[in-house]
Chain A
Amino acid sequence: MEREELKKVQSERLRETVERVYYNVPYYRNKMQEAGLGPEHIQSTDDLHKLPFTTKQDLRDNYPFGLFAVPMSEIVRIHASSGTTGKPTVVGYTHRDIATWSEVMARTLTCAGANRHDFIHVAYGYGLFTGGLGLHYGGEKIGASVIPVSGGNTTRQLQLMHDFGSTVLACTPSYALFLAEAIEESGISRNELKLRVGVFGAEPWTENMRKEIEEKLRIKAIDIYGLREVSGPGVASECLSQQGLHISEDHFFPEIIDPRTLKVLPQGETGELVFTTITKEGLPLIRYRTRDLTRLTYDKCTCGRTMVRMEKCLGRSDDMLIIRGVNLFPSQVESVLLEMSEIKPHYLLIVDRINNLDTIELQVEVDEAFFQDKISQLQSLRNKIQNNLESSLGLGIKVTLVEPKTIERSEGKSKRVIDKRKY
């Protein structure tokens, strides 16, 4: 489709979306009225910049269903985040939303070269997480044979992969590497497996990881991108040229903004990715800030596709860490620590990737008044911190107690995180 023609479609869909949220979602109507805007002010995608942004916090403030734009009787599916970073964010889908999601996921799989003759091994988790069901519906849509194996139980995974002749692997990149090692150890010869391509996402991964996955599993490793709030997996996907991820921009309209000034950046510049959903019914989002940093290319891809491409994500515009697929803000660790009188909220998080698995260590200062010469006491304190963190964050963090005043103080904003992972 020519860009002018596409823009017409996008603008029309945007107008419909804005009108829908204005009349059906009090939150959006109030925000637009505050900005002195009515639906008539948004005629094309050129007007989008006038609209206020939506953030994850807005979803939380309207927990659980406050931003839904249809009556609950129209909602046929609900997904939610694990809620590790506060209240879960909840998304709802109508019948048409599920159909759209399946469509964009079908595009993702087609981009990766999959078709009706493939066996798609879906090792993403099924459940409230959108990974499993997203891939599942997309796989069915292209007519492939979908194996909904879900996460865990690696031995069975390998057996089914071997016996069923899985050709497409869908999981997180770190699990792909884990599987690669498990295959080596299992004694199954790679030649007995029919794997051809993998679609990997849900966490940031490096070009080095891609190389390693491709060499070890002898497959093409395709980066896919999506986020639950916008739809789930299927928002964007690499094609076999592996030159950036094609965004389904006829459903999800992207902008790149400067995260500080919040101004839209000129084409080709790196900034924060912002999405406006232009076909969603259940939970339409206007200018949703993803916090992912990337840039867009509008050139035609060597594969022939004309949809805009985003670069592999380069990082985040906030301090959120993604540890083994779990979202973590340092401030969450801090609030757990602040509840414990035995320690000072002087801490340092050290994140690394060892054998392709994320590791996280917390160094925290013990309060001098609490320090005693009993090792048992220090150990139980360490265990207590570890348990408190695990129960409120859902993440195992190695805790190391350190002496008071040993964590470097800096003027102004202190350094709380050392991330040794290479992106």
Chain B
Amino acid sequence: MLEALGEESIKITALTVADTTEFGILRLIVPEPEKARDLLRSKQFTVNLTEVISVMAPNEAQHYAKVLRILSDLDISIEYTYAFSIGNKSIIILRCSNTEEAIKALKEHELELMRASDLYKI
């Protein structure tokens, strides 16, 4: 799969693998999701696009905790989350049960949400 993306020079911003004894799912963040999806589909992969939220925060655990707390207090469930750091900043990726509501809540707490276009520039 990576070879296929590489051949078309599609960059990968983030990659995680979720697997259980029965299922394996590879999650990717790429600058051109539609293009990557169509390419992978043409190579017989099963691909779908999904919305995630990315939050930029100082690279400290308490900030990550704060984000989760806000969502937890609103009973928004988190399907999965992961994070990576760049210098003293960290980028938190969240897949929530209710994306709209989560974005609203995070904005109210003046957290810095990143646009897709910005994320892809990293």
Q: Which of B1-44 contact A (CB under 8 A)?
A: 18, 20, 22-23, 25, 27, 44
Q: Binary interface profile of A, 390-423, with partner B (CB < 8 Å = 1, else 0)?
A: 0000000000110111000000000000000000
B23 near A375: Cβ-Cβ < 8 Å:
yes
Question: Is B79 engaged at the interface, CB distance under 8 Å to the other chain?
Answer: yes
- CB atoms of B23 and A401 under 8 A apart: yes
Which of A8-16, A178-186, A216-224, A366-374 is found at the contact surface with chain B?
A: A366-374
Q: How many A-B residue pairs have CB under 8 A?
A: 36
Task: Determine how close the nearest CB of chain B comes to the CB of A345; give it in whole angstroms.
Answer: 17
B residues in contact with A400, CB < 8 Å = 22
Are A375 and B46 in contact, CB atoms less than 8 angstroms apart? Answer: no
Classify the interface of chain B: helix, strand, loop or mixed. Answer: loop
**Pair A373/B50 contact, Cβ less than 8 Å:** yes
Which listed residue (B25, B48, B50) contacts A375, Cβ 8 A?
A: B25
Interface size on B, residues (CB 8 A): 14
What residues of chain A lie closer than 8 Å to B45, measured between beta carbons? Answer: 403
Of A374, A376, A379, A404, the contact of B46 (CB 8 Å cutoff)? A404
* Residue in B46, B50, B79, B80 whose beta carbon sits within 8 Å of that of A403 in the complex: B46
Q: Residue on A with the closest CB to B79?
A: A374
| Complex alpha-carbon distance, A400 and B25, angstroms | 15
A371-B79 contact, Cβ under 8 Å, with A378-B23, A400-B22 = no
Asked if A371 and B48 sit within 8 Å, CB to CB, the answer is: yes
Question: Would you give the shortest CB distance from A124 to chain B, in whole angstroms?
Answer: 37
Q: Mark B82-99, 1 if CB is under 8 A from A, else 0.
A: 000000000000010000
Instruction: Report whether A368 and B23 are in contact in the complex, using a CB–CB cutoff of 8 Å.
Output: no
Residues of A within 8 A of B48 (CB): 368-369, 371-373
Q: Mark each residue of chain A from 340 to 381: 1 if its CB lies under 8 Å from any CB of chain B, else 0.
A: 000000000000000000000000001011011111101100
Chain A residues near B25 (CB-CB < 8 A):
373, 375
Q: How many residues of A contact B (CB 8 A)?
A: 17
Pick from A369, A376, A382, A405: contact of B79, CB below 8 A.
A376
Query: In the complex, A383 Cα to B94 Cα: how many Å?
Result: 26
Q: How far is the CA of A378 from the CA of B50 in the complex (A)?
A: 15
Given known contacts A368-B46, A368-B48, A405-B44, is B20 in contact with A375 (CB within 8 Å)?
yes
Q: Which residue of B lies closest to A399 (CB)?
A: B22
**Closest Cβ neighbor of A368 among chain B residues:** B46
Report B54 CB to chain A, min CB distance, Å.
Answer: 15
Chain B's closest residue to A405 (CB) is: B44
How far does the Cβ of B20 sit from chain A's closest Cβ, in whole Å?
Answer: 6
Cβ of A372: which chain B residues have Cβ within 8 Å of it?
48, 50
In the bound complex, CA of A403 to CA of B46 (Å): 7
CB interface residues, B 68-122, toward A, < 8 Å: 79-80, 95
Known A-B contacts A382-B22, A401-B23; the reply to A373 vs B46 at CB < 8 A is no
Q: Chain B, 56-77, contact with A by CB distance < 8 Å: what is the 0/1 string?
A: 0000000000000000000000
Give the CA-CA distance A366 to B47 in the complex, in Å.
12
Given contacts A376-B79, A378-B23, A401-B23, contact A371 B46 (CB under 8 A): yes
Closest chain-B Cβ to A100's Cβ sits at a distance in Å of 52
Q: How far is the CA of A376 from the CA of B95 in the complex (A)?
A: 13
CB neighbours (8 Å) of B27 from chain A are 373
Distance A373 CA – B28 CA, assembled complex (angstroms): 10
Contact between chains at B22 and A373 (CB < 8 Å): no
Task: Please indicate the chain B residues that have their CB under 8 angstroms from the CB of A373 in the complex.
Answer: 18, 25, 27, 48, 50, 79-80, 95
Cα distance A379–B48 in the bound complex, in angstroms: 17
List the 4 shortest-distance A-B pairs measured between CB atoms, nearest first. Answer: A403-B46, A374-B79, A373-B25, A371-B46
12 contacts between A and B (CB under 8 A): A368-B48, A371-B46, A373-B27, A373-B48, A373-B79, A375-B20, A378-B23, A379-B22, A379-B23, A403-B45, A403-B46, A405-B44
Known: A374-B95, A378-B23, A403-B45. 8 other contacts (CB 8 A): A366-B46, A373-B79, A373-B80, A373-B95, A374-B80, A376-B79, A382-B22, A400-B22
